Structure 1
Amino acid sequence: MTEVDAGRWWGLLGDRVRGELVDVRTMADGASGSAVYGLTVVEPAGEFVLKVASQPWLRERARRELTFYRELASHGPVLVPEFLMGGEADGSTYLLLTAAGLPTEAERWSKQRWIELATELGWLHREQVLALAIDRGATGLEPASAEKLAAGEHAWRELGYERLLAPLWANFEALDAAIRELPACLCHGDCHLGNLLTDPADRFVWIDWQEVHVGHGPGDLALLWHRAEVDGVNPPREAMLTAYAVARGIPDDVILRRAAVAAELTLVMLEWPTFFPYLPEPARARIRNRLERLVPAWRR
């Protein structure tokens, strides 16, 4: 899509929206599965975000996000953009939201700020939210396929980690079992700093719910930590995990700690090799170093 397409979409919405479109900014195009545009409108003035998924294989993710905003967002414990409208039109799935804040600047955060974020994630993962989500149709994700496992194993073998990881590949289901020791919960699914804004009151605004699903929780923490660390930021993991447990209402015990390690290992072993070619060497080194610490922690 192009910015011209975004203007055309504003016209398609026609009698359902008000205001003259005066500026269109491309915010993302494909990275999250949808073309994303910032729209500035006058008479009346307003700032909006338009997300459009046109490719058939992307539309299911867009529909998942649409369901979240329609059925769950107003009942959840975290702040999200205001949903204005969404649906199917012109062979695409679309959402129109209010612009909700500015990107975070985590490199300046205090320890307490990270704890606040972990607390909100714990609120999202509480049992009460899960019950509401299931009642409104939320479902789980498919487990990793045999092809994905084989691809991850091959990638790490090529990187020289065959000996270190061989026992984990041989019993990969043990990682999943450790994660499933935790109660089920509603997961964001793409929890990283790029999907967190701050509003004028310095509150977190959680965006991009295309991967929302029923899971067990530590995967959200693992992705949050790793994406931050790849960017050179060091979240206070121990303090965050304790705050998360308190907010979620679960024990801060060996079950949680082992599930967190398993979630990190799963993320590193299956997901990061795909992105290695696009990362600078310092970021790749941080991931490798973290892996070398995680394996002994898992074996303990």
Structure 2
Amino acid sequence: MALAEPLTPPELPARFSLLLPVYAGDTPERLHRAVESNTVEQTRAPAEVVVVQDGPVPPELDAELERLVRDSPVPVRLVRIPENRGLAHALRTALPSCSYDVVARADADDVAYPRRFELQLPLIEAGADLVGASMHEIGDDEGTPLALRAAPVGAQRILAVSRRRNPISHPTVVLRRSAVERVGGYEDAPMAEDYWLWARMLHAGADVRNVAEPLVGYRVSAGSYERRGGYRVLRAELALQARLRALGHVGFLQWATNVMVRGGYRFVPVRVREAAYRLMVGRRNG
């Protein structure tokens, strides 16, 4: 009599790393809050935190980093980069230090809501390569959202939005490191390293999803929308659009539209720029 096939054990819940970059402009208080909200306050916590220090930091921030390594109930590993080289370099350097294929991103001044990973991890476990979410804009008072950045939901919607703007909010992302590495990882793309990575993943057929519920409080300051304008940002935008066209992610007409609309956006008054951006990503889904 033939032996019965052995039962396949159920898939274990994914253990995952939290990857969080820090640089000289961050503060000890907000770093502490970011780590706390992404670990001990989560209904489903990461197994480790990998903090990448992008260049020298002030003594107070360095002391907080040392305290986290020493005292955090979730193990913290610190990757130090001697010189500030920017976000893409920091993430490219630190990603291999993550112990798990599933990696969640967080920024050092944002706040994660308690059910963030409880809602995102099941999608990864179901086969997604990358999962983002909607997020709130917040100021000093994290309990009073200033605006909603609504994420496009559904594969076709995400792909369509990606031809016009970034469809995934970087501080909300949970990803598979192997899927990121298959398309070459984080590459230098001034002010658009995340968008450029998502576009390459989508173009390669990656399973990219969003959770409609806001899962992160994203801190904005008085200068946040000012920094979205000017010639330096325009140059970065034109370089990105050229890359998207060369990749085949956008055609000529979409490229021309993006250059005119997104280029012109860089030179409207700040109040108009803020209103236009919040209308685009907040009041309508895409």
TM-score, reference length from structure 2 = 0.29
TM-score, reference length from structure 1 = 0.28
Higher helix share: 1
